[in-house]
């Protein structure tokens, strides 16, 4: 059996354990319609390979060095079908919220693997789009916030700890993340970024701006109704009227 177009299904295997990759490789082997294009031992490699090789399917471990499986998916995920392969059952809910094809629990039977493969083929045949930029926000448990933001720059992965994120600026379908004098573009809406970050630290001061309160040094009037904040690196960001009341509430609280 081959996919509808007659092309082979190209798969990427991502797991930091050699033996865990081996077992997936072995179970894929009897399927002539499948082709393993690469194996990756960590999240960075996975992002690079997925971007370069554009596979149809990814077998993805969750706990890995550098980037975890969800972060990998957030960076590459638009049209790659994902089967999570992990020993952890506590991520299952989150996996399905990010529209994973299946969730295999280590160790698994060959029959179980076949079923996952079957589902993956159905997904690859059809078109079920999903928006990976929403997943970080939607799947985070209440009360916990992102400790870092991952950005893909070509095939390179940039990790920005939230403490080093100065502000974010909406630019069409992207957000520009300002950190240590540099700007990083990420395909994400500013609202979903806002939802992922701790609201005690990051305040939406404008439709297009989210600012790290710890960077704010001054708040000055600007024009009739609007204000401007000045950050400690000298950057000036516009503050809308509703943004001003939100910001003021925080600054008053801090005394």
Partner 1 sequence: MHPILGHFRRLVLYLAAWGPISAILVYLFASLGGLSWGRAVAMALPLCALYAFVCLSAWYTCRGIPLENSASWLAHLVAAGVASLLWIAIARALTFVLSSFQTFAGLDQQTARAYPILFGSGVLLYLLAVALYYVLLSNQAATEAEKREVEARVLARESELKALKTQVNPHFIFNCLNSISALTSSDPAKAREMCVLLGEFLRRTLGLGDKALIPLRDELALLHAYLSVEQIRFSSRLKVEENTASGALDSLLPPLLLQPLVENAVRHGVAQLTEGGWIRIEIRQPEPENLAIAIENNFDPEAPRRKGAGIGLRNVRQRLDASYGNRAKLDVRANHDRFIVSLNLPAEKEP
Site residues for partner 1 per CB under 8 A: 16-20, 22-23, 26, 41-42, 44-45, 63, 65-66, 87-88, 105-108, 147-148, 159
Q: Which two tokens stand for residue 104?
A: 């295999």
Give the nearer residue to partner 1 in terms of CB position, either 159 or 228.
Answer: 159
Local structure of residue 213 (DSSP, 8 states):
G
Least Cβ distance, residue 72 to partner 1 (angstroms): 14
Shortest distance in whole angstroms from residue 159 CB to partner 1:
7
CB of 13 to partner 1, least distance (A): 12
Nearest approach, Cβ of residue 37 and partner 1 (Å): 20
Question: DSSP letters along 170-187, please?
Answer: EETTEEEEEETTEEEEEE
Of 37 and 85, nearer to partner 1 (C-beta) is 85
Q: How far is the CB of 183 from partner 1 (least distance, A)?
A: 21
Burial of 201-227, coded b for 16+ CB within 10 Å and e otherwise, reads: bbbbbbebbbbbbebbeebeeeeeeeb
Nearest to partner 1 of 22, 242 (CB atom) = 22
Q: Which residues pair with 212 in a beta bridge?
A: 202
Tokens of 188: 């994400």
Phi-psi region of 201 (alpha: psi -120 to 50; beta: other; left: phi over 0): alpha
In terms of CB distance, is 26 or 233 closer to partner 1? 26
What is the token pair recorded at 190? 């500013």
In the complex with partner 1, the residue whose CB is nearer, 28 or 247, is 28
Residue 132 backbone class (left: φ over 0; alpha: ψ -120 to 50; beta: rest): alpha
Number of residues written out for the chain: 255
14 vs 239, beta carbon nearer partner 1: 14
Residue 236 C-beta: closest distance to partner 1, Å? 31
What is d(CA 248, CA 183) in angstroms, rounded to the nearest whole number?
Answer: 27
Cis peptide before 107 (omega within 30 of 0): yes
């Amino acid at each position: 059996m081959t996919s509808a177009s007659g092309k082979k299904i190209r798969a990427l295997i991502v797991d930091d354990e050699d033996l865990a990759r081996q077992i997936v490789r072995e179970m894929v082997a009897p399927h002539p319609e499948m082709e393993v294009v690469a194996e990756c031992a960590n999240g960075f490699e996975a992002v690079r390979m997925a971007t370069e090789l554009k596979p149809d399917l990814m077998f993805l471990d969750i706990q890995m060095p550098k980037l975890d499986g969800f972060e990998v998916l957030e960076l590459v995920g638009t049209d790659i079908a994902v089967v999570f392969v992990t020993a952890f059952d506590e991520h299952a809910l989150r996996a399905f919220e990010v529209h994973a094809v299946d969730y295999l629990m280590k160790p698994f039977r060959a029959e179980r693997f076949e079923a996952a493969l079957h589902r993956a083929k159905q997904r690859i045949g059809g078109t079920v789009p999903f928006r990976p930029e929403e997943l970080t926000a939607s799947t985070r448990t209440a009360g916990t916030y992102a400790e870092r933001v991952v950005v893909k720059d070509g095939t390179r992965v940039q990790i920005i700890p939230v403490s080093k994120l100065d502000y974010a600026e909406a630019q069409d379908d992207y957000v520009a993340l300002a950190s240590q004098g540099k700007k990083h573009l990420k395909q994400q809406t500013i609202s979903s970024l806002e939802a992922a970050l701790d609201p005690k630290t990051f305040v939406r001061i404008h439709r297009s701006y989210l600012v790290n309160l710890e960077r704010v040094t001054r708040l000055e009037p600007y024009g009739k109704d609007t204000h401007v904040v000045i950050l400690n690196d000298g950057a000036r960001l516009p503050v809308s009227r509703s943004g001003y009341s939100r910001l003021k509430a925080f600054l008053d609280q801090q005394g």
